[in-house]
Structure formats: structure tokens, C-alpha cells
Amino acid sequence: MVKRITYGSDRELECLRYLSKCYDFALSLSISLALNELDTAAGMLRDGRMFRHGLKKYVNNAVREGDRRRAAITGYMVSRGFFESYADRVIDLAEKDIAGFRNSVRRVMEKHGIGDAGLYAQVETARCLLQACVLDFRGIAEEARKKFGVARSGDFAEYDVSAVYYWFGKAADILYADIDRVHGDIELRTPATARMFNRIHRKIADGEYIGGCMETASEEHPEFMRNEIKKAGK
């Protein structure tokens, strides 16, 4: 299935092309990473003793919304298989950087004597990645407005994961409230955690992961690339 979008001027067309490039090739990778970490965090929480009442509701709602976003994004792609290979590859490419951020958060937790530091670090990793996706979705739209005088981000609403972030943020609030009661207010944003997170964000923004993702998707779905080359040659 291909999305049909109407436009009223050349400026709007340029804006739509810009948004498509930013959302399809860059933000899609951020979302893939965030939802993967969300699924991991949800699995860890479901296996734990704390998974009940409000926490259970919020985590399940977040995962459900995440699945909807995945389906919505892939549903508009010309080749679902190609896009899934493209987006999934970033999970492997960014594994070391994600682990670096997660471990930096875990060390902060352990320094304050918090039990289940690994669980909380996973939750914080997913929460931060989701928040970054929400901010980037809005930031890209604002950049388009500055460039073209219009912002057609509503035509790419499938990339808006604010509902996922909302529900998982509610779950995190419950978990962190328990920590605060015992250990007081703990600042998780340290120079080390900020540096590790910014590394991930910068690599996505600079396109460092895109080449590897495109290479894998092209190898696994050569028929898609052949068709695209034929279209370009017409």
C-alpha cells in the first residue's frame, strides 16, 4: 500500500519530500530502537513481582500503542519486507551504543544502592528513546516550517509515538515513585549518561546507521532495489 497525499503548491511538495526523507529514513530507525527497548523492558517487568494494578495497565497500553505504530508505519511502505529489514538492522548496529547508555544508567542506580538496577536501567533506556522520538517528530516538523513555511507533519502521523511515550511514562512514574520514597530524588542525567545518549542520537541524525541498514535491506530484498532502479531509469 502507498499513501496518497495531496498538495496545493510546489512549496508543499518540497516540504512533503523533506518530511518523507527525515521520517522514513531517520526517525524510523529511532522508533525501531525505542520500540525494541520497550518490548525488552515490558518483558522484564512482566516477569517481576511489581507487575500489577496500574503498572500492568500502563505497560500493556504502551506496548499495544507501539504495535499499532509499527503496523501503521509498515502499512504504508511499498515493500514491507524491505522496510522491516532496514529498520530491524539498526537494532544490531546500535547494540553497543544502547548497551553503553543502559550500563551508564545502571551504574548510577547501583551507586545509590538501588536493587534491580538492571531493570530500572532498561526502563529508563526505553523511556529516554521514546521521548527522543517524540521530540524529533516535532523538531523535524518545526524545521520544515522554517524551510518551507508549512509543516505537513500531520500527513506522517504514524511516526508520532507520543501515545506510546505517555503510557510508558506513566509506568515509569510508578516505578520511580517507589525509588524516591526509599532513596530520595536521584538525578539520572549525569555527564556520562548524557554523553552516551547523545552518541546514539547523533549517529542517527548524521546518518551513520543508514548505510548499514540500507545494505542489509538491499541484500535481503534485491527485487525491491531492481524495481526502484527501473523506475528511476524511466
pLDDT at 76 over 70: yes
At 183, is the pLDDT very low, low, confident or very high (cuts 50, 70, 90)?
Answer: low
Q: Tally Cβ neighbours within 10 Å of residue 221.
A: 19
Q: Is residue 2 part of a domain?
A: no
What pLDDT was estimated at residue 8? Answer: 79
In the prediction, which pLDDT does 228 show? 44
Residue at 171 is within a domain:
yes
CB distance 146 to 140 below 8 Å: no
User: How far is Cα 169 from Cα 33, in angstroms, rounded to an integer?
Assistant: 17
| 70 pLDDT above the threshold of 50 | yes
d(CA 154, CA 46) in angstroms, rounded, equals 34
Question: Cα(188)–Cα(191) distance, rounded to whole angstroms?
Answer: 10
Q: How many domains does the chain have?
A: 1
What pLDDT sits at residue 32? 95
pLDDT bracket for residue 225 (50, 70, 90): low
pLDDT tens figures, 28-69: 999 999 999 999 999 999 987 777 778 899 999 999 999 999
Global confidence as pTM? 0.89
Residue 54 included in any domain: yes
Tens digit of each residue's pLDDT (9 = 90 or more) over 90-123:
999 999 999 999 999 999 889 888 888 999 999 9
pLDDT in tens, 115-143: 889 999 999 999 999 999 999 999 999 99
pLDDT reported for residue 128: 94
Residue 186 pLDDT greater than 80, yes or no? no
Q: Which domain holds residue 58?
A: 10-233
Answer positive or negative: Cα dihedral of 209, 215, 221, 224: positive
Q: Establish if 5 belongs to a structural domain.
A: no
User: Does any domain span residue 118?
Assistant: yes
pLDDT higher than threshold 70 for residue 3: no
Which pLDDT score, from 0 to 100, does residue 75 have?
Answer: 84
